[in-house]
Each structure stands twice: as C-alpha cells, then as structure tokens.
Amino acid sequence: MIIKAITFRDNGFLTAPFVFGGEEGPEKFVPTVKYRSCLTNYLIDAGDEVILVDTGLPAGTPEEAPDENTQVYTGQDVCSYMDALAALGYKPEQVTKILVTHRHIDHTGELRSFPNAQIFVNEDETDAEEFKGLNNIVPVAFTDGPYYNFPESQKIRDGVYYIRAKGHTRGTSVVVVESDGLFYMLHGDVTYTDEALYVNRLSVVYDDVVAARETLDRVREFVQNHPTVYLSTHTPLGRENLEKKRIVDLNNPPETLPVGDVVFKTATGKYVCSVCGYVYDPAEHDGTPFEELPDDWRCPRCRQSKDKFNKA
C-alpha cells in the first residue's frame, strides 16, 4: 500500500490563537506566533484500487489575501486539486473509493469529479450541504466494533480503517492505513498543526468541544502506543512526515516545532533588557504585550532593540 500527498496550496500560515485556543480561549495565545500551513490531501494506492482521503477545494476557489489580522491563510495555489492528482499520474476514473474525513469544503471540494467512486461519509453528517445531490454516498455506521482504543470503526479493506472521531465536526472520522508495520493516520482536522498534537491543544474550530477533546485524547493515546505517521491536511509537516516516515513521539517533538515557550502569553508578560536590566511590564503600558510592540520599539532606558530582551 502506497500513500501519496496531494498538495494544492502552500506557503500559508496559521496563528497560535487559532490552532491552540479551543479550550483555554484564543486570547491566551500570542497572535504573532505563526505556524506554517498548506493544503494537502492524500491518496492510497492499494495496487488493485485507488482510494482518496478527501478531495480538496473546488477548482476556481479564489486565493485569499492575508493581512496583519489574518488568523488563517491557507496559502497560494500550487495548482488545482485535480491537476495535483493528475500530476501524480492518476485519472479520476481510477478512483474506486473516497473516504471523507469531514464535510468542510477544503476536504470535499471535488467529490463530484469521480464517476466510479463510492463516497464514504460518517452517517452523522451525510445530510450536510456539501453532499447534496450526490448519488454515490455510502453512509457509514461503524458496525465493525472497536479499532484499538477507538470504540467504533468500519473496515474499508484489509489495512484500511475508517474510524468515528467526532468533535471538529459532528461527523469527523479518521482513516488509519496499516502498512509495513506502521500506522498512517490521516486525520483531517483533528489538529490543524502537528504542534497542537504535541502540546495537546484543540483549535477554535469544532462542532462539539467535549467530543473534540475526547477524540484528541484518543488520538494521543493511540500514537503513544503504536508507531504512527501523522498525516495532516493543513501543515507541510504532514507531507514531510510521510516522506521521512517520521513516527510521532509525544515526548520528543521534532526540532522544527517551537513547543513550550511561545505557546502561551507569559503569566506576568514581563521582559527584561539584557543590556541594562530594564523590566518591561505590560501593566505599566496599558496592558500591551511585549510581543505586540512594534519592531522598531526600543528600550526606554538604554535604547537597545526588542531582540535584546528576554522573558522575565
């Protein structure tokens, strides 16, 4: 079984409040901290059939124009989803199954472009607008029982499992592909970034926050106990994980992840000038966080630049 990444937007960003703020509240996170973003869906080449997991954005979806207030910028078009698929050497007619992680348009955009495919959708959201008028939907009731620590699953074929994982939307599902002793988890938007998986935080987008927490707990438990390659949609780490067969180790985040110090606004928010010892306290500056001071701000005592300051 071969998994391939289909990237159709790249060089975007997601801000910390958006990707971490689901439970604590977005205001707790530093808005200037940004994580790389893209749009990548995946294909499973099983030898005797081609299975898609999600189907991108509809062709012709306009690019966004980010500004300083943008929380989510999905990036620039690489090409259309269908062109990205063609570039991998596949024709729409070859696709026999589509497994939908959830209804959102950046995951369901080209569902109508595959004449020979059955479209598997969690029964809890087959009534969503995105599926209207499609006559090849297979509602999934997850009748095959538990898949490891997930209580409900449907076996799609040997080594391919569709698993109930609601929260982000009421009908979110994740796909696990077992291949060569590894578990490839194609999870849609359980997290938008891998950083959120490592620091155990929910994004601000969910239909049901209690269910989303339960799902993230299950995903983290699963990856603790099985060698898992985590395949995300909205971060280029997804395709990098695939290329490197990088196995999630929750205790050892990849070095590219700025886990820890940049996630929260510090409790005091104080910063100290490393040259003269001046303490910047937001409470004395109308509550303005140090991180939000302009780039040309200078130490009022010794005129050093912002980069000479350290967290108190």
> Binding segment for Fe ion among 25-33, 66-74, 104-112, 300-308 (CB under 5 A)?
104-112
Nearer to Fe ion by C-beta: 124 or 309?
124
CA separation for the pair 297, 40 (Å, rounded): 38
User: Looking at residue 277, what DSSP letter applies?
Assistant: -
Among 104, 218, 234, 265, binds Fe ion (CB under 5 A): 104
Between 42 and 290, name the residue whose CB sits nearer to Fe ion.
Answer: 42
Residue 192 in 3-state DSSP? coil
| SS3 call for 24 | coil
Owner of token pair 């300051």: 309
Q: Residue 124 or residue 189: which is nearer to Fe ion going by CB?
A: 189
Q: Which is nearer to Fe ion, 110 or 189 (CB)?
A: 189
Give me the least distance between CB of 300 and Fe ion, in Å please: 45
Q: Cβ 19 to Fe ion, closest distance in Å? A: 12
Count CB atoms within 10 A of the CB of residue 9.
25
State the nearest-atom distance from the C-beta of 251 to Fe ion, in Å: 28
Binding residue count for Fe ion, defined by CB under 5 A: 2
- % helix, strand, coil for the chain, step of 5: 25, 30, 50
Q: Is 13:193 a contact under the CB 8 Å cutoff?
A: no
The stretch among 37-45, 78-86, 96-104, 258-266 that binds Fe ion (CB under 5 A) is 96-104
Q: Which residues fall within 8 angstroms of residue 171, CB to CB, at 6 or more apart? A: 102, 103, 121, 122, 123, 124, 125, 126, 128
CB of 191 to Fe ion, least distance (A): 11
Q: Could you tell me the smallest distance in angstroms from the CB atom of residue 72 to Fe ion?
A: 11
**Subset of 160-189 contacting Fe ion (CB under 5 A):** 189
By CB under 5 A, the residues from 184 to 243 that bind Fe ion are 189
Q: Measured from the CB of residue 129, what is the shortest distance to Fe ion in angstroms?
A: 14
Rounded to an integer, what is the distance from CA 164 to the centroid of its chain?
Answer: 17
For residue 29, what are the CA distances in angstroms to 19, 23, 167, 223, 293?
9, 11, 22, 26, 15
Nearer to Fe ion, 49 or 207 (CB): 207
- Our CB check for Fe ion shows the closer of 43 and 190 to be 190
Residues at the contact surface with Fe ion, assessed by CB under 5 A: 104, 189
